[in-house]
């Protein structure tokens, strides 16, 4: 073949490739949904470029190399009609183009249809196209391409997907994937193995983020600080109540001891006084009774009390009423069940904070009871002390008046 004939053939080859590229680009622009961030014209060009490289490495002649590049351009075009059976639509588009341009496909449409189920038994051209289609698995741009694929899936589904599940799916696919040609293995397999390790690391990072999201750690310290402050305040209030109860117990036991001792001594040395003026017993009795009542209520306030719910053991693990973070509840279940329960709490933010809220509420109920009993104790003490003094002064003044 002369140089002029070669130039004519090359010009014709270039023209058909440009026409194919224009046809594919036009069809993508007209009918492809914007949600397809991965399967678009840029992906078609990428496949065509890698297919030509693999064909050159495999020693494919120029004519078949041209057909392979055209088939590569048409491969993702079927996504214009959706992901289901897209290769059939892609092959049909290629046949329409070839008929329009009177181009001899020589079975290039069947290469497209054979890619999804390709194996070592397929012809070289189908296997080359298969390896070019999946070349992104063994390239440095793997992260970017996989992210686009994930975003595309979410956009088409109309909802946010599970990044952990997608990551594991990609890792499994990478591990099981195999390039079908020597050229594909040489060009992309080494990097594919590296990408398996990279995907595994990415999965770990994503999983850590998901755990933080579920446990509320990504919300900042606001929620944790709120609960920590609330619990600290309740514990401080409980300590204050116990200190006040101890003070009431100490004061009133001293008063009771003194009154009993003085009254006993008074009956021994001033027996006539108590029989001739029994009204002086009134303030003593008032003080005795008020101090005794104040001590009783103070002791009730400081007395430890375990909050209990009438819930069966088997129902405690799934109860929405009682918190298993409280010792009075978790001691009713087996140790293994409690450990399992805490493990679930680590992964479930809502349940964790609900349990903390229940525990906080129960602590508030205990505090309410403490301060109610303590209030009664203080009121009784003050009332009894005031009434005793007033009674004593009244009796004393009344006796002075009668003596005159």
Could you report the per-residue pLDDT of 242-259, keeping only the tens digit for each? 999 999 999 999 988 888
Pair 226, 98 in one domain? no
Place of tokens 């058909």: 16
Residue 283's pLDDT band (boundaries 50, 70, 90)?
confident
**Domain end (from 215, 230, 258):** 215
Please state the domain count of the chain: 2
Q: Residues for the chain: how many in total?
A: 404
Domain interval for residue 151: 3-215
Average pLDDT over residues 109-132: 95
Contact 57, 186 (CB under 8 A): yes
Pair 154, 256 in one domain? no
Pair 96, 194 in one domain? yes
- DSSP H stretches of helix in 182-334: 182-184, 190-215, 222-269, 271-276, 281-302, 313-316, 327-330
Check whether 216 has a pLDDT greater than 90. Answer: no
Contact 213, 164 (CB under 8 A): no
Rounded to 10 degrees, the C-alpha dihedral 52/55/60/65 comes to -20
Among 142, 163, 145, 143, residue whose Cα is nearest residue 154: 163
pLDDT tens for residues 372-391? 999 999 999 999 999 988 98
CATH classification at residue 150? 1.10.3210
Pair 28, 174 in one domain? yes
Residue 270's pLDDT band (boundaries 50, 70, 90)?
very low
Q: What is the percent of the chain where pLDDT is above 70?
A: 81
**Domain end (from 176, 197, 215):** 215
Tokens coding 144: 């970017």
pLDDT tens for residues 173-212? 999 999 999 999 999 999 999 999 999 999 888 877 776 6
pLDDT at 122: 93
Residue 224's pLDDT band (boundaries 50, 70, 90)?
confident
pLDDT at 342: 72
Residues sharing a CB contact under 8 Å with residue 361, sequence separation 6 or more, in sequence order? none
pLDDT at 217: 57
Residue 264's pLDDT band (boundaries 50, 70, 90)?
low
Check whether 309 has a pLDDT greater than 60. Answer: no
Contact 69, 17 (CB under 8 A): yes
Residues sharing a CB contact under 8 Å with residue 173, sequence separation 6 or more, in sequence order? 137
Tokens coding 385: 């002390």
pLDDT tens for residues 4-56? 444 444 445 578 999 999 999 999 999 999 999 999 999 999 999 999 999 99
Pair 26, 166 in one domain? yes
Pair 166, 281 in one domain? no
Mean pLDDT of the chain: 84
Pair 160, 255 in one domain? no
CA distance 115 to 273: 119
Check whether 231 has a pLDDT greater than 90. Answer: no
Pair 230, 190 in one domain? no
CA distance 267 to 262: 9
CA distance 125 to 65: 9
Q: What is the percent of the chain where pLDDT is above 90?
A: 52
Check whether 172 has a pLDDT greater than 60. Answer: yes
Q: What is the DSSP string of 52-63?
A: HHHHHHTT--HH
Pair 186, 248 in one domain? no
CA atoms within 13 A on the CB side of 294: 27
Pair 194, 118 in one domain? yes
**For residue 216, is it left (φ>0), alpha (ψ between -120 and 50) or beta?**
left
pLDDT tens for residues 328-374? 666 666 777 777 777 777 777 777 777 788 888 888 888 999 999 99
**Domain end (from 155, 189, 215):** 215
Query: Coil, strand or helix: which one is 85?
Result: coil
Pair 241, 143 in one domain? no
CA distance 54 to 184: 7
Tokens coding 371: 């301060």
CA distance 340 to 133: 46
pLDDT at 318: 59
Check whether 262 has a pLDDT greater than 80. Answer: no
CA atoms within 13 A on the CB side of 38: 21
Pair 74, 178 in one domain? yes
């Amino acid at each position: 073949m002369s140089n002029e004939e070669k130039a004519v053939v090359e010009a014709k080859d270039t023209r058909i490739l440009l026409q194919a590229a224009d046809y594919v680009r036009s069809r993508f622009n007209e009918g492809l949904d914007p949600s397809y961030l991965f399967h678009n014209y840029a992906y078609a060009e990428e496949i065509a470029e890698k297919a030509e490289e693999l064909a050159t490495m495999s020693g494919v002649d120029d004519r078949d190399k041209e057909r392979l590049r055209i088939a590569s351009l048409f491969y993702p075009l079927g996504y214009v009609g959706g992901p289901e059976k897209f290769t059939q639509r892609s092959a049909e588009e290629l046949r329409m183009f070839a008929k329009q341009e009177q181009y001899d496909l020589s079975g290039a449409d069947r290469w497209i249809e054979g890619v999804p189920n390709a194996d070592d038994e397929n012809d070289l051209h189908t296997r080359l196209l298969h390896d070019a289609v999946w070349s992104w698995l063994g390239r440095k741009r793997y992260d970017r391409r996989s992210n686009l694929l994930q975003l595309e899936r979410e956009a088409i589904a109309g909802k946010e997907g599970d990044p952990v599940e997608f990551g594991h799916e990609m890792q499994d696919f990478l591990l099981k994937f195999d390039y079908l040609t020597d050229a594909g293995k040489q060009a992309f397999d080494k990097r594919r193995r590296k990408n398996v390790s990279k995907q595994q690391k990415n999965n770990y990072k994503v999983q850590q983020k998901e755990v933080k999201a579920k446990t509320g750690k990504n919300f900042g310290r606001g929620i944790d600080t709120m609960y920590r402050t609330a619990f600290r305040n309740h514990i401080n209030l409980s300590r204050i109540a116990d200190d006040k109860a101890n003070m009431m117990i100490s004061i009133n036991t001293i008063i009771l001891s003194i009154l009993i001792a003085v009254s006993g001594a008074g009956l021994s040395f001033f027996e006539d006084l108590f029989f001739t003026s029994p009204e002086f017993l009134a303030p003593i009795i008032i003080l005795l009774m008020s101090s005794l009542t104040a001590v009783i209520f103070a002791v009730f306030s400081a007395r430890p009390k375990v909050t209990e719910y009438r819930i069966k053991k088997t129902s405690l693990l799934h109860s929405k009423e009682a918190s298993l973070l409280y010792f009075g509840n978790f001691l009713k279940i087996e140790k293994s069940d409690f450990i399992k329960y805490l493990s679930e709490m680590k992964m479930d933010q809502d349940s964790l904070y609900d349990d903390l809220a229940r525990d906080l509420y129960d602590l508030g109920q205990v505090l309410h009871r403490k301060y109610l009993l303590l209030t009664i104790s203080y009121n009784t003490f003050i009332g009894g002390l005031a009434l005793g003094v007033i009674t004593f002064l009244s009796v004393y003044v009344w006796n002075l008046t009668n003596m005159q």
